[in-house]
Chain A
Amino acid sequence: MSEHWSEIKEVGGSPWHFRFMLWVVCHLPLFLVEFCTAVVCFFFWLGAAPVRARSKIYLKHLQNAGVRVGFFGTYKHILSFALSMMEKLLGWKGAIKLNRIEIQNDDLQMLVAQLNKGDGAFLLCSHLGNMEMLRSLTEYGEFHTDKCFQVFPVVDLSGSQKFNGLLYELNPELMENMIDANSIDVDSAIWMKEKIKEGNLVVIAGDRTSANTRNRVMETTFLGEPANFPEGAFSLAGILNAPVYFAFAIRKHDFNIRSPYEMHVVRAKTSLDCPRRERPERLKELLREYTEILESLCQKHPYQWYNFYNFWESAEK
């Protein structure tokens, strides 16, 4: 069970399954979409013992942290993930509007003010919740800011090619804004710097280690046990030398795709604008800030964590 997440095959089988999924989302009322998803997920859950086992590892850690997880915990976890895929399809076809987003009493206004001024930022997001869905709003003119901006996510697409094929069909432009995490080089780094300077956002998830550079990790305690986090995602913040925010978008009601969306935005207190020799220490601080927020949100919305691999396995025992 010492698989890195990138070695786990994309589940869901044939292209036919994905076509059906798209048809359901496009043609049925949302409550029926939820119903169909719940039924399909139930059978998937019965048959997918490895996925259940990996989900259980995560839920155990949550339980140890004091979160109540019931007997059907792994089913709920899988269902929540399936619903997030449905939601992503809805977002990609422009069916999700800004009024679904609920803002919190946090640093969002600071970020909005910055974007309105024409300054960009670097966002550290996660696989908790559905930031990708949120990104789709920018492509359909749904802005909370006065000024339009673009969102450039740094992603590893290798694990979900079939699903991404569907997304590409729905809105190719949204897919073309992506930066491949496996081939960041001088030119793409400079390009990202320029995009931020022009007032856009560059976004990366801080909770998945890179498939290419598995040895570049930072270890910290997460939900009670040491786990590895990607050094590159945090270092990139320093390289791009932009203001850093933590951002999360989470369904308010875990199993309802008509639910409002909680948007959490927190400005990082740790600055990476420092002499290089202090940087490793600062990166650790930044990671600590990030994991603290991630832990508390995981405890509030346990089933919206979409890392289906043993998150703790890779850390040194």
Chain B
Amino acid sequence: MSDLKTRIKEVIIESLELEDITPADIVDSAPIFGKNAAGEGLGLDSIDALELGIAVKENFGVTFSTVKEETKKHFASVDALAAYISANSKG
């Protein structure tokens, strides 16, 4: 699971070309979009979300529901995304 999380972080950094950020800088439980009360999070917006979604699909082969709210839930944090990918990836 921690391998998967590192891989997810790499995909996030690579696809969104986040400079000066390493996988270690991303907190597993922090929000990917926007920031939480503690000021943690990457603060990405909806166009970033679309691009990240495409990168995740291309890298991990999982699809997302067309129900927007549900997709949002899976992208809440690296933890949530890792749980979703491991539950849904083929093989």
Contact = CB atoms under 8 A, between A and B. Distances in A.
Contact of A276 (B17, B56, B71): B17
B90 interface: no
B16 A239 contact: no
B71 A186 contact: yes
7 contacts: A184-B50, A187-B66, A189-B53, A189-B54, A190-B54, A216-B47, A232-B47
Interface residues of A, number: 17
A317 interface: no
Contacts of A276: 16-17
Contact of B54 (A186, A213, A235): A186
A105 interface: no
A185 B63 contact: no
Nearest to A240: B54
B46 interface: yes
B40 interface: no
Contacts, number: 42
B31 to A, nearest CB: 18
A277 interface: yes
A183 B68 contact: yes
Interface in B1-33: 16-17, 19
A185 B64 contact: yes
Contacts of A251: none
A154 to B, nearest CB: 13
Contact of B50 (A186, A231, A275): A186
Interface string B46-78: 110011011011100001101010010000000
Given A183-B66, A232-B47, 15 more contacts: A185-B50, A185-B64, A185-B68, A186-B57, A186-B64, A187-B64, A189-B50, A189-B54, A190-B58, A213-B46, A231-B47, A239-B47, A239-B50, A276-B16, A277-B19
